[in-house]
Structures are given as C-alpha cells and as structure tokens.
Amino acid sequence: VIPAEDCVPGKLLTTARIPWLMVIYSLGLTVVYLVYYLPPFRAATGQSATAELIVISFGPLLWVFTALFARRTILRQYGKP
C-alpha cells in the first residue's frame, strides 16, 4: 500500500533511479581521476599509486551496493513501481 503523500506520478520511479544516477556520476568522477589526477601524481612521485586506485575504485562500487539496497528496499516497501 502506497501512502497518499507518495502518490505523486513518477515519484517512486525517480526515487528508485537516483542511486543509479549516483553510480553513473561516480563512474564519471573515476574517469576524471584516472585521466587528470593519477598520471601527474605518478610522474611527480614515481610511485605506482595503488592506494589511490583502490580508493578511486571504491566509490562506484559503494554506490552500486547502495543502489541495489535502495531498489530492494523500495520494492519490499511499495511493490513494483
């Protein structure tokens, strides 16, 4: 049963898609870091930047888990949109 305050057309679909938009956004940031941040860092320090790669890769992965959890929660709470 969907509460009356949530019966705005498209609201549930928008809510379900926001975490996936964050996945796309964080993937974009990852590309920016890989292209513009890591090469100068490696050139300046001479290090392999493994720790930076792990941290940069963790962002999109975290948002994927968040999006899956949000989808599961929305479907359990309201049913299929």
Structure confidence at residue 4 (pLDDT) = 67
Structure confidence at residue 63 (pLDDT) = 83
Structure confidence at residue 8 (pLDDT) = 64
Report which of residues 48 and 79 the model is more confident about: 48
Q: Are 49 and 41 in contact (CB under 8 A)?
A: yes
CA distances from 57 to 3, 51, 53, 77 (A): 38, 10, 6, 31
Percent of the chain with pLDDT over 70: 75
Residues 6 or more apart in contact with residue 81 via CB below 8 angstroms: 12, 13, 16, 74
Report which of residues 39 and 15 the model is more confident about: 39
Residue 53: band (very low, low, confident or very high) from pLDDT cuts 50, 70, 90: confident
Residue ranges of domains in the chain:
10-78
